[in-house]
Amino acid sequence: MKKILCLLLVFSLFSCSDKKEKATFDELHRKALSVKPEDIGVFIPKPTTVVIDSTNTRDRHIVYGIVMDWISQRDTITTVAYSNGEAAIYYSDNDSVISGKKDSERAALKFIETADEYAEKQLSVQMPLRAGNTVAFHILTDKGILSYYENGFNFSHHPPGSELSPLLESGNQLYLKLRNPKLSLNTLPISQ
């Protein structure tokens, strides 16, 4: 029973040790990226096939989580969502955590739904060369982690903007909902 509880404490302020020490940002981030579907009670169905063209097919990625990192020169803010509705925000500057399910479940599932759309895309988004002001999206699937990186400045330039803008918007809505559970999803600001 203790082992199962430790696996579910991804969103906790404490590590799974008996000392109940506060987990660091790096530990929480590492745990968020290493969660398996069974750790969060998610069943992954048998693979389904996606038709690429008349001669090629492949198994479809099943998305069960997403980790979004907004990396600045000083710190990182990480927003995490899982397909069981759990969600959290981790702050690197002070190792603090905001987590939730009840009030943020709809926004978390919308973030997963948006990530699912990107799991099937073959984007050519590369890691920006400049350090800082980078947004990283790590989509957790049954076949591994798909990672996309974008310079944060590209999200504010229209056109061309970024192919990842809908994913950022969905992640930001979850972030806002976790920060203020009383916000209605209908009143959350949407980027233009």
pLDDT tens for residues 90-146? 999 887 888 877 888 999 999 999 999 888 776 655 555 556 788 999 999 988 898
Answer for the pair 44, 37: CB distance below 8 angstroms, yes or no.
yes
Work out the angle at residue 97's Cα, subtended by the Cα atoms of residues 94 and 98, and round it to the nearest 5 degrees: 135
Three-state DSSP at 47 gives: coil
CA pair distance 29, 32, nearest whole angstrom: 5
Q: What is the pLDDT of residues 40-63, one digit of tens each?
A: 998 887 766 666 666 666 667 889
Closest CA to 73 of 136, 130, 132, 149: 132
CA pair distance 138, 116, nearest whole angstrom: 12
For residue 99, give both structure tokens.
């987590």
